[in-house]
Amino acid sequence: MQNYVTKLVEKFPELKPQQGSIQAFVDAIVTSYKKDGKVLLCGSGGSAADSEHITGELLKGFMTKRPLSQKKIKEFNKYFGNDTDAKLLQEGIPAVPLVSLMSGLTAFINDVSPELAFAQMVFAMGKKQDLLVVISTSGNSVNTVKAAQVAKAMGIKTVALVGKDGGKLAEICDVVIIAPANQTYLVQEYHLPIYHAVCAEVERVLFPE
């Protein structure tokens, strides 16, 4: 089957300059997964919704069903007490949308600092084998910039999904994908097919049918 990143660039030729970075995003997720790491994601506004959207594609089957191996099904059946439930489970890639950790985020925002809320979540949860994905249409969202700075200090690989000129995140992150647009809504219209292609390609690599 053709690489989904290649398919993406064929559909959106203007993304050709970003093809290497988009493939690097795929590779970063695959590497983290193979090291028993997890994907942490954050962003504000529409980018917060994108963080949750990406998580949904990673935690369960996206383009395929990702069935468990017969060995795993047999082990789970011992506890389910039936032959059905384990067959419905799907292989998942550990992913956490930091934007959804409302108790932790709001406590830190109220008690300490709004700008460091995502950074605190990364510091508390992050490990070297993890991957941090920061999404910002301008590349300058302060809370994502500080999260990326903390990740870098902890040795966690970072991927930025941005627009315009890439902003401050382009200077910090290991992998930078810049949507070729300046207006927020147009940047977001590119982000969706980009991360869909990434999630589909990760799935193709890790869970071949």
Within-domain flag for 72: no
Please report the sign of the dihedral spanned by the C-alpha atoms of residue 203, residue 204, residue 205, residue 208. positive
Q: How far apart are CA 185 and CA 193, in angstroms?
A: 13
Residue with tokens 């992913």, as numbered in its chain? 95
Largest Cα–Cα separation, the chain: 56
Within-domain flag for 70: no
Average pLDDT over residues 33-53: 98
**Residue 82 contacts residue 106 (beta carbons within 8 Å):** no
Within-domain flag for 73: no
CATH number at residue 99: 3.40.50.10490
| pLDDT for residue 1 is more than 80 | no
Within-domain flag for 58: yes
Within-domain flag for 111: yes
Q: How many domains does the chain have?
A: 1
**Closest by Cα among 192, 189, 148 to 168:** 148
**E strand residue ranges, the chain:** 39-43, 95-97, 131-136, 157-162, 175-178
If phi > 0 it is left, if psi is from -120 to 50 it is alpha, else beta; for residue 181 that is beta
The per-residue pLDDT for range 137-170, each reduced to its tens digit, is: 999 999 999 999 999 999 999 999 999 999 999 9
The per-residue pLDDT for range 85-138, each reduced to its tens digit, is: 999 999 999 999 999 999 999 999 999 999 999 999 999 999 999 999 999 999
Q: Which domain holds residue 171?
A: 4-64+92-206
Within-domain flag for 142: yes
Within-domain flag for 28: yes
**Closest by Cα among 208, 193, 195, 192 to 64:** 208
The per-residue pLDDT for range 50-79, each reduced to its tens digit, is: 999 999 999 999 999 999 999 999 999 999
2 pLDDT band (50/70/90 cuts)?
Answer: confident
| pLDDT for residue 177 is more than 90 | yes
**Residue 180 contacts residue 15 (beta carbons within 8 Å):** yes
Question: Token pair for residue 124?
Answer: 């508390």
Q: Which residues contact 84 (CB under 8 A, 6 or more apart)?
A: none
* Percent composition of the chain: helix, strand, coil (DSSP 3-state, to 5): 55, 10, 30
Average pLDDT over residues 173-177: 98
SS3 135: strand
